Amino acid sequence: MEKNSFMEIGEFMLFARDFKIPLKKSFLLELFKKSSENRKNVVTFYQFTNLIDVLGQELVNSRIKEVKERLAQIEKIQKEREEA
């Protein structure tokens, strides 16, 4: 994407699919619209780069949540085994 070009919402959704971004479609659409000016269905190159930053943060937060949930499950199992 050139610096003066635009990306439409459909292109962004294809980008998300191509890179197998594991977030819900509705959440991706919400992020895209928040990144665009006046909640339009188009972002500039600069807005797209900011969107990628936000997307990365969301992916990390999602992964952290998954790991914490798994850790809680492991701790529960460990506690049950110690009590048995």
Tens of pLDDT along the chain (84 residues) come to: 555 689 999 999 999 999 999 999 999 999 999 999 887 789 999 999 999 999 999 999 999 999 999 999 999 999 999 987
- The vertex-54 CA angle with 48 and 57, nearest 5°, equals 145
- The pLDDT of residue 3 is 54
pTM, rounded to two decimals = 0.76
Distance CA 31, CA 78 (A): 39
Question: What's 23's DSSP letter?
Answer: S
Which residues sit opposite 43 in a β-bridge? 7
Structural domain for 64, as ranges: 6-83
Distance CA 64, CA 61 (A): 5
Q: Is residue 45 part of a domain?
A: yes
Q: Is residue 43 part of a domain?
A: yes
Domain count, the chain: 1
Kindly tell me the number of DSSP H helices and DSSP E strands found in the chain.
3, 2
